[in-house]
Amino acid sequence: MPPLDKRHCFSVHCPSRLLFDQIADKWSMMVLTVLDPGPARFNEIKRNLQGVTQKALTQCLRRLERNGLILRRVIPTSPVGVEYEITPLGRSLQGPFKALYIWTLQNLAEVDRARAEFDTRNGGGGSAAAKAA
Amino acid sequence: MPPLDKRHCFSVHCPSRLLFDQIADKWSMMVLTVLDPGPARFNEIKRNLQGVTQKALTQCLRRLERNGLILRRVIPTSPVGVEYEITPLGRSLQGPFKALYIWTLQNLAEVDRARAEFDTRNGGGGSAAAKAA
DNA sequence: CCGTATCCGATCCGATACTG
DNA sequence: CAGTATCGGATCGGATACGG
């Protein structure tokens, strides 16, 4: 794999641009993390993702399934059961995700400092809208 | 750094949850990549991010600045100039971002295959809405 | 040149209700 | 249990106009 070009230019049709949006969202990262130890049922996943709505989780799982990152298996029991499981492709994404997750943990403090300083410099004599961003 | 827990639970107040949303968006990744070789002016960045609007880029740069990932320096020339530069904190994020970028390049083909198969299984006899997701 | 302000359509998102 | 359907509010994002 080649290193990133100097002053890399991202064309509109750059494939990674489109893919990045699909896979790099908050819920997807969390779902892949929760499924890491093994398959899990819908509500089991939901319980581990505090605050996610049924709709958001369903959409997220569909997208993950469509992109080949997880597998959906229906268990024909009396009330229907569904199990979700990571695919090998999904596992290959855990490394990059974990790197990002660890970065957030390691640098959270410094980011907070930077934010406080920024808000003092700017929001100090102005609107509080800056913090809302 | 500890390994991720088994069946990791993401509480609502998990700091990495909030931070992830802020830093893992498409434009931020591209800006950090474009700034990698060295500082750049506003329109210089804009030219390298085909399709970004002035508003979106401004918002993105502000957020990056607020989070301490880039530095904004005003050059007092006749028409005002502004230079953006990566901070050490920003540089530390390039590694994780690059890992994700490389993943998209390496697995784009397989994701496309998975999508095609999914759309055949589902959208085959139904709505075309699935592809729009 | 580098923004901010405003408007407006598209989209997301949660809450709710309903089904096999 | 695991969804789908629908609706209204919030938010995003582009286009345009204007200011330092």
> SS3 sequence, A40-84?
EEHHHHHHHECCCCHHHHHHHHHHHHHCCCEEEEEECCCCCEEEE
DSSP B38: S
**What pLDDT score was predicted for residue B1?**
53
pTM: 0.87
Query: In chain B, what residues touch A114 (CB-CB under 8 Å)?
Result: 66-68, 89
Beta pairing, strands B81-86 & A40-41:
unpaired
Q: Do residues A9 and B48 make contact, with C-beta atoms less than 8 angstroms apart?
A: yes
**What pLDDT score was predicted for residue A132?**
44
pLDDT, one tens digit per residue, over A85-116 is: 999 999 999 999 989 889 999 999 999 999 99
Confirm or reject contact between B118 and chain A (CB < 8 A): yes
Task: Please give the nucleotide, over all strands, whose C1' is closest to the CA of residue A52.
Answer: C14
What is the end-to-end Cα distance of chain B in Å, rounded?
Answer: 36
B68 vs B26, higher pLDDT: B68
Chain A residue whose CA is closest to B112: A67
Residues of chain A with CATH 1.10.10.10: 13-90
pLDDT, one tens digit per residue, over A16-69 is: 888 888 888 889 999 999 999 999 999 999 999 989 999 999 999 999 999 999
- Strongest mean pLDDT among A49-53, B57-61, B75-79: B57-61
**Average of pLDDT values for A76-84?**
93
Q: Sorting pLDDT into bands at 50, 70 and 90, what band is A130?
A: very low
pLDDT at position B129 over 50 = no
d(CA A58, CA A70) in angstroms, rounded, equals: 13
Query: In chain A, what residues touch B10 (CB-CB under 8 Å)?
Result: 30, 33-34, 48-50
Q: Which residue is nearest to nucleotide C14 (CA to C1')?
A: A53
**What pLDDT score was predicted for residue A21?**
82
pLDDT, one tens digit per residue, over B88-105 is: 999 999 999 989 889 999
Type of residue at A118: F
Q: Sorting pLDDT into bands at 50, 70 and 90, what band is A81?
A: very high
Confirm or reject contact between A72 and chain B (CB < 8 A): no
A107 touches strand D (CB under 7 A): no
pLDDT at position B4 over 70 = no
Task: Please give the nucleotide, over all strands, whose C1' is closest to the CA of residue B79.
Answer: C1
Confirm or reject contact between B128 and chain A (CB < 8 A): no
Q: Could you give the 3-state DSSP secondary structure of residue B79? A: coil
Q: Sorting pLDDT into bands at 50, 70 and 90, what band is A129?
A: very low
**Average of pLDDT values for B30-50?**
93
**What pLDDT score was predicted for residue A123?**
67
**What pLDDT score was predicted for residue B70?**
97
d(CA B5, CA A105) in angstroms, rounded, equals: 14
Q: What angle do CA A107, A108, A112 make, to 5 degrees?
A: 115
**What pLDDT score was predicted for residue A108?**
92
Q: Sorting pLDDT into bands at 50, 70 and 90, what band is B121?
A: confident
Q: Do residues A16 and B117 make contact, with C-beta atoms less than 8 angstroms apart?
A: no
Q: Taking Cα atoms as reference points, which of A37, A64, A133 lies closest to residue B115? A: A64
Query: In chain A, what residues touch B98 (CB-CB under 8 Å)?
Result: 4
d(CA A44, CA A61) in angstroms, rounded, equals: 13
d(CA B26, CA A112) in angstroms, rounded, equals: 22
pLDDT at position B122 over 90 = no
Size of interface A-B (CB pairs under 8 A): 178
| Strand positions, DSSP E, chain B | 40-41, 70-75, 81-86
User: Across all residues in chain A, what is the average pLDDT?
Assistant: 86
Q: Report the CATH architecture of A13-90.
A: Orthogonal Bundle (1.10)
